[in-house]
Structure 1
Amino acid sequence: MSTVRIGLSGWRYADWRGRFYPPGLPQRRELEHVASTFPAVELNGSFYSLQRPSSFVTWREQTPPGFTFAVKGGRFITHMKRLRDVRTPLANFFASGVVALEDRLGPVVWQLPERTAFDRPTLESFLALLPRTTSDAARLAQSHDDRLRADPWTEVTTDRPIVHALEPRHASFAEPGALDLLREHGVALAISDGAGRWPLIDAVTAPLVYVRLHGDTELYTSAYRPHVLDAWAERVRRWHAAGHAVEVYFDNDVHAHAPADAQALMSRIPDLALPGPGAPVEPTPRRRPR
């Protein structure tokens, strides 16, 4: 059965406290609060640097069954190496503990720089390297090098599929050749709304439809207007009716617009959107001084 998950891009934002997070909620329980409200979140830290297996284990343990993390691929691979000669960096990325999320592991999303145009040989080589199961990822992880400063994680208890999404920000990826290549490899085109800063390429290339919403009129800053959310709700309905799983992540984090907009989108499709699988989180009561 196709699922619809509406979630957030990241969860550690100071100005969400008192807006989305209840006053007095300890920072260590913020992820727990997210999981009580939404069924998924994008893990952003993995984009900026290699994480430690212990961190992935902690995030798994802090969330209930049914919750998933979409994991952002490392910018060393996408922005510094520009997808070229990346077998070892990919091994480092997966050895850092991604598969330790186990049943909490959702899609892996690869965000490209705005200036990166479609280059067929480069993209084809990259897509061919991507592991499609957690066992494949564990085998690839064995090729890590000394950039990985923690013990590698190569343990797989249950073999699971790994789904990938690619977020291009260049108009050339709207060309049939680029879309056909993604379809050939079963990789989802991440439909990315960047408030007009880059083209919104509305195309479906895989069983999963992956959407990233970075801001309505101002990148990362503006809330989505009601009629725009209505339009996104209709798109989700159309994709779901066609048999696709759909995941939508809000990245307009300023002033806690992301959680508000995500809840507003969920309210427009209550018959489709999965709820947060966790119980509501209350702040830890403060002890009275004696």
Structure 2
Amino acid sequence: MIRIGVGGWNFPEWRGGAFYPDGLRQADELAHMASRLNAVEVNGTFYRSQSPQTYRAWADATPKDFSFALKAPRYATNRKVLAEAGESVTRFTEGGLAELGDKLGPINWQLAPTKKFERDDFARFLDLLPQTGGGLPLRHAVEVRHESFLDPAFAPLCTERGVAIILDGDSTYPSIDSPTADFAYLRIMGTTAGEALGYSEAALDRWAQYARGLQGDVWMFVIAGEKRLNPRAAEALSARI
């Protein structure tokens, strides 16, 4: 399964006919987005806790085959010593996300751009990530954004634990293309105002071909860049795949 989506769904730039029909209620934006794409990366979970009722409402608003990737809370990842994040990790993974059921996709443990690779601390952090949350199996992925993670010791730590390394494409962050899990997670960030679909036709073809060549399930999100055009790029990728 290859899932294509965007980051979030509550953006003024998408309203008034740009992506959402003119007059669509904000309460219906998730359902509309889910009728056009089959995945979303939730950014709100990075900033604040969500209630079990909220997760359930998201699940109820979306089709059966829809998938939610969740950004883990900053309280777990934006810290000097990652190995001390155990309480925050548990609070998040046992905080109701299981209400998403089969719609729960991978968790993105996004590190700060300034966070450097420290082998022992990072290994201990990975060991904090549980196999299940609320009784559901969990998929974990790490998004590292400092060049020190180009260290050859990094990827084997993830492979040993089945944690995916998120590929940041078309960005200023290191692009680490290393399969370390039985699924893949991509975030592409190169949409520009000069392209009607955010990306050129050739670039969309390349990303679609890349996604088709990956092993296991794939989650691919069009993030950042020219945010107004990200849904168009995601739809264009979906059409190719």
- TM-score, normalising length: structure 1: 0.77
Identify which range, 68-77 or 83-92, moves more after superposition: 83-92
Question: Residue 218 of structure 2 corresponds to which residue in structure 1?
Answer: 246
Question: Residue 265 of structure 1 corresponds to which residue in structure 2?
Answer: 237
The alpha-carbon deviation at position 252 of structure 1 amounts to 3.0
Q: Does 1:230 align with 2:230?
A: no
- TM-score, normalising length: structure 2: 0.92
- Give the gaps of 5 or more residues in structure 2: none
Q: Is the 8 A contact 2:83 2:128 kept in 1?
A: no
Q: Is the 8 A contact 2:42 2:71 kept in 1?
A: yes
The alpha-carbon deviation at position 230 of structure 1 amounts to 1.8
The alpha-carbon deviation at position 206 of structure 1 amounts to 0.9
Q: Is the 8 A contact 1:13 1:253 kept in 2?
A: no
Question: Residue 95 of structure 2 corresponds to which residue in structure 1?
Answer: 96
The alpha-carbon deviation at position 94 of structure 1 amounts to 2.2
Identify which range, 69-78 or 224-233, moves more after superposition: 224-233
Q: Is the 8 A contact 1:47 1:74 kept in 2?
A: yes
Provide closer, same or farther for how the CA distance between residues 21 and 216 of structure 1 changes in structure 2, counting only shifts above 3 A: closer
Matched residue of 1:84: which SS? Answer: helix
Q: Give distance in 2, aligned partners of 1:88 and 1:255.
A: 34
1:71-220 aligned within 5 A: 71-80=70-79, 82-133=81-132, 137-138=133-134, 159-193=135-169, 195=171, 197-216=172-191
Task: Write the deviation string for residues 251-282 of structure 1: whole angstroms up to 9, x where unpaired.
Answer: 1374521110001111222xxxxxxxxxxxxx
Provide closer, same or farther for how the CA distance between residues 93 and 87 of structure 1 changes in structure 2, counting only shifts above 3 A: same
Greater relative contact order structure (CA < 8 Å, 6+ sep): 1
Matched residue of 2:50: which SS? Answer: coil
Q: Is the 8 A contact 1:223 1:252 kept in 2?
A: no
Number of aligned residue pairs? 237
Task: Write the deviation string for residues 131-169 of structure 1: whole angstroms up to 9, x where unpaired.
Answer: 112xxx23xxxxxxxxxxxxxxxxxxxx43210110111
Q: Give distance in 2, aligned partners of 1:101 and 1:82.
A: 30
Q: Is the 8 A contact 1:214 1:251 kept in 2?
A: yes
Identify which range, 50-59 or 28-37, moves more after superposition: 50-59
